[in-house]
Amino acid sequence: MAVALTFLQHLDGTGLRDCFDYWLSRRQGDRPPPKQSINPTALPRSIMGDLFLYELTSDGRFKCRLAGSAIRRAFGKDPTGFHLDEIVDPTRVAERAALFHTALKKELPVVYGGTLVEGEKVWMPFKRLLLPVADERGVNRFVFGMVIFPRLAITAPTGIADELTHEFAVWASAADLAAVTNP
């Protein structure tokens, strides 16, 4: 039986850890950092293509404001300007949007993963880090983060993908939030 990984174990050894440590270094005490303090170009160049920024709009939807080049390649288009519910597999929209909303409400990062469905039954395993960010008034309204994809996409008929990659979501703990390294 496999042991469940902790939040930091999911990040370690990936660019997700660099992104998380940067976010930690920008926090305002125990509050999420303000958007104006987030500068993606301050992060390692090797992860810039995997970064994203979503904004919670007045209708309760998340609009993609920034999508790196690796994300654009994975989707086969630029998701910038589109809402999360227009990008994500319709069967996953509710649970994905709930993760975004909860990250803002709880002011906590979450790492989640599973398989991405895009185009003609192409299943790509992914791992995504969501980091809450405040607007200029201190209202948590942005989700900054990163998504990584393995090198190989897996083509599989419907139903087989669940056997290849499991779905998970792991929230950061208080200890994780105190675990800043040198960003």
Give the model confidence (pLDDT) of 124-183 as tens digits: 788 999 999 999 999 999 999 999 986 544 444 343 333 335 789 999 999 999 866 544
Q: Is 92 exposed, middle or buried (0-12, 13-18, 19+ CB in 10 A)?
A: middle
The whole-number pLDDT of residue 3 equals 59
Q: How many CA atoms lie within 13 A of 60 on its CB side?
A: 5
pTM: 0.87
Confidence band, pLDDT 50/70/90 cuts, at residue 115 = confident
Q: Rounded to the nearest 5°, which phi and psi values hold at 59? A: -90, 10
Distance between CA atoms of residues 19 and 31, nearest Å: 17
Return the SS3 of 127: strand
Contact indicator for 71, 79 with CB cutoff of 8 Å: yes
Each domain of the chain, given as residue ranges in start order, spans: 7-177
In percent, the amount of the chain with pLDDT more than 70 equals: 83
Residues 35-61 have a mean pLDDT of: 94
Give the model confidence (pLDDT) of 50-73 as tens digits: 999 999 999 999 999 999 999 998
CATH fourth-level superfamily of 7-177: PAS domain (3.30.450.20)
